[in-house]
Amino acid sequence: MDEVLPSEKARQEVQKLFGYCIGVPGHPYQCAHLFVGEGNNGKSTLLAVLIALLGKENVSAETLTSLTENRFAGANLWGKLANVFADLPTNPLRYTSVFKALTGGDKVRAEAKFGKTFYFVNGAKLIFSANELPEVNDRTRAFWRRWQLVRFDQDFTGREDRTLLGKLLAELPGILNWALAGISVLDRDAGFLTELGADDLKSEWRRRSDTLAWFVSDQVVVDPTERMPKEEFYEAYAEFCAANQASPKSPEHVGKELPRHV
């Protein structure tokens, strides 16, 4: 664990997460967790340990997109301790109301294939990992405040320990005690804390999800006495996105949304 997460604060947040999954019912802290980092950095191994600790039968594996767009996906969370999905696809996240309900203690509608529709309050903790952060259309504080991000900056390519997962699984009783101790830390801190660096990562995520707002904030000076052709403005915006390896919105989207940003 120390090698995967050199930051003591990050390790403590993961300890709290493990305890949260095991011993805290419901969603009192209204949050979801996202492990972020490119390459071979230990994210998947850590999630595999968590799944083993909770028991595979107590864990679902729905993507963030499926939970928000597939009407059958939510039913798979019923009765589970956690929903864990490694390596989220980079598909844009278009709908977030179900996500907010699943993490907010609200009653949600679920539909089983070839079964009846039912309603339940989700207790499964939502945990994902990603190499790249998905684009999000939601700009509300209710969405962004729910995310707890953990950075994985190490790269073990060329020095992988193929036996590491087996070693960790052999230590599950000790990991269980460690996780249970995390509940006390969670209570002491009254929730999860933002690890140094993770807050910057969330800000970067928000910027890349609203590239027009980012461009206006960084590059645009509003002068009511000046006029700029819309084609020229869009060209400058697209060049800004290309320089920052971000995806530009369509000209139609820019024309519609620009008044909100200036």
Cα–Cα distance measured from residue 49 to residue 14, given in angstroms and rounded to the nearest whole number: 12
pLDDT for 257: 85
pLDDT for 196: 54
pLDDT for 17: 98
pLDDT for 260: 80
Hey, what are 191's tokens?
A: 């929730």
Count the neighbouring beta carbons within 10 Å of the beta carbon of residue 250. 9
Taking domain 8-193, whether its CATH number is 3.40.190.10 is answered by no
Is-contact 143 99, C-beta < 8 A? yes
Residue ranges of the chain that CATH labels 3.40.50.300: 8-193
Cα–Cα distance measured from residue 247 to residue 262, given in angstroms and rounded to the nearest whole number: 21
pLDDT for 204: 81
Query: How do the pLDDT tens digits run along the chain, 262 residues long?
Result: 777 787 889 999 999 999 999 999 999 999 999 999 887 888 999 999 999 999 999 999 999 999 999 999 999 999 999 999 998 988 888 899 999 999 999 999 999 888 889 999 999 999 999 998 888 888 888 999 999 999 888 877 778 888 888 999 999 999 999 999 999 999 999 999 876 567 788 888 888 788 888 898 889 998 888 899 999 999 999 999 899 878 888 999 899 888 887 7
Is-contact 230 250, C-beta < 8 A? no
Hey, what are 6's tokens?
A: 């050199």
Give the closest residue to 142 by CA, choosing from 100, 198, 106.
Answer: 100
Q: What is the DSSP string of 100-166?
A: HHHTTT-EEEEE-TTS-EEEEE--PEEEEEESSPPPB----HHHHTTEEEEE-----TTS--TTHHH
β-strand 117-121 against 107-111: which pairing, if any? antiparallel
Burial class (CB in 10 A: 0-12, 13-18, 19+), 194: middle
* 191 conformational bin, left if phi > 0, alpha if psi -120 to 50, beta if neither: left
pTM to 2 decimal places: 0.84
Spatial neighbors of 152 by CB under 8 A, at least 6 apart, are 4, 5, 35, 36, 37, 41, 42, 43
